[in-house]
Structure 1
Amino acid sequence: MAKQERALRTREALVNSASEVFDCEGFSLASLTTISSRAGVSNGALHFHFASKAALAEAVEEAASRRLGWLTRLGSEHPNAVQCLVDASHELARGLREDVVLRAGFCLSSDQAYTGQRDLRVEWRCWVEAILKRADGEGTLNENTSAQDAMLAVVAATVGFGVLGARDATWLSYRTLTRFWQLLLPRLASPVTLGALRAEGVRDAQAKNPTRIGHQSREP
């Protein structure tokens, strides 16, 4: 059991180290020697767990996909589907700021030098599409806005924030996401539910000034 636990810890260390290197250098420039050194293991140990750099990248993407699934489930706890979408987008931005594995997974999905089995952008798009269909079905989506059009706008913006946030963290900030939703929600949500929605997300509303739609945030 102790040997199996060590193997799991070594594999996790390699995935975390690879995430850091892929995030900083991209797939093509990433060195297996650098990855193993950062993880504190030998090259032989790395090749014991992963046959190639591509196999290691696949493990990073798989780990990132699990984290994406977790944050979308966390964002789906609210009974209003539109609020779920807002909350999940804040969780995604927080994850891209703070979680190098999630960030590396998205980087690999857009890296032309790497062709993997997963695409986290597609996984995010599929979730957004599903939650908007739910909103349409429950009557919380504005009748003048189609779920498909809303999906295109939300996915383009949130994925774009992730790309821009790689160089400027303000694109992934709480304020940026809040202002985006303040702009979009009047078009996206049904009038009967609009006043109850929080552009800053339910989780952040407990720690910051509530931002009801139609009221400007007090933060600078």
Structure 2
Amino acid sequence: MTNDVRAARTRDALIRSAAVLFDQCGYAEASLSRISAGAGVSPGALHFHFTNKAAIARAVEARAARLLHRTARVTLREATDPLRALTDSSLAFARLMNRDVVVRAGFQLSCENAHGNLRDLRRQWWGYVQYLLNRAAERGMLAEAAVPERTAATVVAATVGLEILSRSNREWLSSTSLSGIWQVLLPCVAAPHILAMTVPAVRDRVPSTPAP
């Protein structure tokens, strides 16, 4: 194993160890000693890669942002229209948050703002939602009353609410929960001629009973 490969693996282990602690107990309670121990490396190795805890937190957020951006690109490329991209993206992001602790920790860190972070993953989600709704409006896919800016705020409030609730119960971010949200929202968002195609497409992909 080359030194570069070893260094990359150590850095990845530190990022993941830090993410686990940030997710479990928050930024303030995650000590450098616990992060290095969780990665199976010495405190000296930690300081070789990161000058302090804030630097590790920024690396966790950056990793989370890259994973989310990659997921968004894939979903957007495969979706048949902007509204399908919106529903598919929310489902893909929920799955990613449920299985990847780095993404969960990245969202929590951007909310805590305890380390001088430069990212706001929730605001990035808001921007992505508004971009897709603007595209849908340009194609005549939105209901007459569904102004993109106000609709984006509603979608973000609903989905971020599930993200917050999921901290105590992961079922809130299940595909079932997201399906239930979209079956309520889409009739208010999609134009009538689009609704007949969009709601069944969401319903058919996951069970329709919301999580408790």
Q: TM-score, normalised by structure 2?
A: 0.93
The alpha-carbon distance between structure 1 residues 199 and 24, as it changes in their structure 2 partners (threshold 3 A), is farther
Residues 10-89 of structure 1: pairs in structure 2 closer than 5 A: 10-76=10-76, 77-89=78-90
C-alpha distance in structure 1 between counterparts of 2:209 and 2:11, whole Å? 45
Does the CA contact (< 8 Å) of 1:14 and 1:39 recur in 2? yes
Aligned equivalent of 2:158: 157
C-alpha distance in structure 2 between counterparts of 1:199 and 1:171, whole Å? 21
Q: CA deviation at 1:199?
A: 6.3
RMSD: 1.9
Residues 1-220 of structure 1: pairs in structure 2 closer than 5 A: 2-76=2-76, 77-198=78-199, 201=202, 205=205, 217=208
C-alpha distance in structure 2 between counterparts of 1:27 and 1:45, whole Å? 20
Q: CA deviation at 1:160?
A: 1.1
SS of 1:142's partner is coil
Select between 192-201 and 34-43 the one with higher mean Cα deviation: 192-201
C-alpha distance in structure 1 between counterparts of 2:38 and 2:201, whole Å? 37
Does the CA contact (< 8 Å) of 2:64 and 2:103 recur in 1? yes
The alpha-carbon distance between structure 1 residues 143 and 55, as it changes in their structure 2 partners (threshold 3 A), is same
Q: CA deviation at 1:71?
A: 1.8
C-alpha distance in structure 2 between counterparts of 1:157 and 1:92, whole Å? 14
SS of 2:112's partner is coil
Q: TM-score, normalised by structure 1?
A: 0.90
C-alpha distance in structure 1 between counterparts of 2:8 and 2:98, whole Å? 26
SS of 2:197's partner is coil
Q: CA deviation at 1:75?
A: 2.4
- Count of equivalent residues: 210
The alpha-carbon distance between structure 1 residues 199 and 75, as it changes in their structure 2 partners (threshold 3 A), is farther
**Identity between Structure 1 and Structure 2 (%):** 43
SS of 1:136's partner is helix
Kindly provide the amino acid, as one letter, of the partner of residue 15 in structure 1: I
C-alpha distance in structure 2 between counterparts of 1:200 and 1:159, whole Å? 23
Kindly provide the amino acid, as one letter, of the partner of residue 23 in structure 1: D
Q: Can you list the C-alpha shifts for 1:10-69, whole angstroms capped at 9, x where unaligned? A: 101111111001111111111111111111110000000000000000000000000110
Kindly provide the amino acid, as one letter, of the partner of residue 134 in structure 1: R
Q: Find runs of 4+ consecutive structure 1 residues off by over 3 angstroms.
A: 198-202, 217-220
The alpha-carbon distance between structure 1 residues 201 and 51, as it changes in their structure 2 partners (threshold 3 A), is farther
SS of 2:198's partner is coil
Q: CA deviation at 1:119?
A: 0.9
Kindly provide the amino acid, as one letter, of the partner of residue 3 in structure 2: K
Q: CA deviation at 1:219?
A: 8.9
Does the CA contact (< 8 Å) of 2:180 and 2:209 recur in 1? no
Structure 1 gap segments, 5+ residues each: 210-216
